[in-house]
Structures are given as C-alpha cells and as structure tokens.
C-alpha cells in the first residue's frame, strides 16, 4: 500500500495553503481594481445612483459609495447654510435636483465636490448654474456632464416610447392591435410624444448619433435653410 511520508504531507499542505491564499489575494485585488470609492462632499445630497434610490440615512453619516467600472448617473442637489449679513440670520440655500454623468475606468478613488463656495452670494449663484469637480486619486480632473433632471427624465420616457413604437408588431389574423398594446399604452405614448420639448430631445439624439448621422443632419439643416430663405 502506498503511503506519504510526513515531509511530503507537510509540503502538500503548504502548497494548498499557498494556492488558497494566492486565490484570495487575486480576488481582493480584482475587486479593488474593478471598483472605485466615490466620496461626495457634505453639501451635496444624493437621491439616486444609476436610477436606484439611495438611503439618505446611510449617506448622512458616510458620504462614500462603491462604483463599478462603466458609466454612472447621479441625481443630486446642493444644500448648505450661510449667514445672511443683511438680515442678521442664517439662510438655508438649496438647489433643485440635477443629474451628473461620468465614467469610471481604472480609477480607485473619486472625489465629487462643488466649486469653492464661501458666502451666500456664491451659493445662490451656484443654485442657478451648478458647477462640480470630479477628481481621481491623483487629483486629475475627470470629464462629467450636468443635466437638468426634467430633461433627463424626459429623455428616459421618450427612449422608452421610441423603443416601444419601433418594436416589431405582431399582426393578428384579423389585423387587430397586439394584445400587449393596450389603449392606455397608446394614450401614454401619444401624450409623451405631444409633450416632448424639441430642444433637449435634439441634444439627446445628437449625442447618440454617429459622425455620419450628424453630418447628414447638418446637411439637412443647410438644405432646409436655403429653401426657407
């Protein structure tokens, strides 16, 4: 009968232990590389991250979240207190919710903050025209886009409607509408289309268009301008 000597057993056990430890370290390193820790300044309040509601109780004590690589969308607002020297009292200044879009690539840490706001006048100016800064762990600035919440929500609704309207329609034997296209759905689709603000939608589709599509559209505008002159 074949048996292992104590030294062989000891070496095998050490090898197994080494492999397990290496696997755990690799998993840990992979997790760190694939996720970035986003820190948000206290004067920013997050409502949604990637269309999912955030528990305010969590962020009120710890303004950090883990974000995977890829594109992300935050719905946030500005909120802070300043002394009103004219009135001799403190004033709460807050903005409407707005949307912040950015992309996480190989960053490990991100820091989202407002521009420097030192007094009430600067705070009120920020409410009218928000401006944020997104830095990585090396204090390098990252590209971000700001958008009105109403434009963002409208874009989502229009995209949903366009997707619905462009989906292949199953024609029944008597040429009636498909079972899943109810009267309520049709009314909703038409209502959204009727209420679409053309400017944000043109911006939305412009960003989604390819370079060739943009060129064709500019040619279309040029030709129509000549006709209307």
Averaged over 24-36, what is the pLDDT?
Answer: 54
- What is the per-residue pLDDT across 151-204, written as a single tens digit (0 to 9) for each? 888 778 777 766 665 555 444 445 555 555 677 666 666 666 665 566 666 777
- Structural element, H or E, at residue 46: strand 44-49
Range of the domain at 98: 35-142
Q: What three-state secondary structure class fits 192?
A: helix
Give first-to-last CA distance, the chain, whole Å.
101
Which of 120, 142, 164 is a domain's end point?
142
In the chain, the largest separation of any two C-alpha atoms, in whole Å, equals: 101
Q: Residue 210: what are its φ and ψ, rounded to 5°?
A: -80, 170
Same domain, 94 and 176: no
To 5 degrees, how large is the angle CA 173–CA 179–CA 183? 120
The predicted pLDDT at position 148 comes to 92
How many beta carbons lie within 10 A of that of residue 140, not counting itself?
Answer: 9
Which of 142, 175, 195 is a domain's end point?
142
What's the whole-model pTM score? Answer: 0.60
In a domain, 10, yes or no: no
């Amino acid at each position: 009968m074949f048996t292992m000597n104590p030294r062989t057993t000891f070496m095998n056990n050490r090898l197994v232990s080494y492999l397990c430890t290496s696997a755990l370290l690799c998993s840990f390193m992979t997790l760190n590389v694939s996720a970035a820790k986003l820190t948000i300044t206290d004067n920013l309040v997050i409502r949604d991250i990637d269309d999912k509601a955030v528990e305010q109780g969590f962020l009120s004590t710890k303004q950090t979240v883990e974000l995977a690589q890829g594109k992300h969308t935050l719905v946030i607002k500005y909120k802070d207190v300043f002394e009103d020297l004219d009135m001799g009292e403190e004033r709460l200044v807050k903005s409407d919710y707005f949307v912040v879009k950015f992309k996480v690539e190989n960053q490990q840490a991100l820091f989202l903050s407002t521009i420097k706001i030192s007094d009430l006048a600067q705070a009120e100016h920020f409410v009218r025209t928000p401006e944020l800064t997104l830095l990585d762990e090396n204090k390098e600035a990252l590209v971000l886009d700001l958008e009105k919440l109403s434009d963002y929500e409208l874009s989502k609704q229009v995209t949903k409607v366009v997707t619905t309207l462009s989906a292949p329609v199953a024609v029944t034997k008597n040429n009636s509408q498909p079972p899943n296209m109810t009267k309520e759905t049709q009314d909703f689709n038409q209502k959204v289309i009727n209420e679409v603000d053309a400017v944000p939608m043109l911006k939305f589709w412009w960003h989604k268009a390819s370079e060739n599509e943009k060129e064709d559209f500019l040619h279309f505008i040029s030709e129509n301008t000549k006709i209307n002159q």
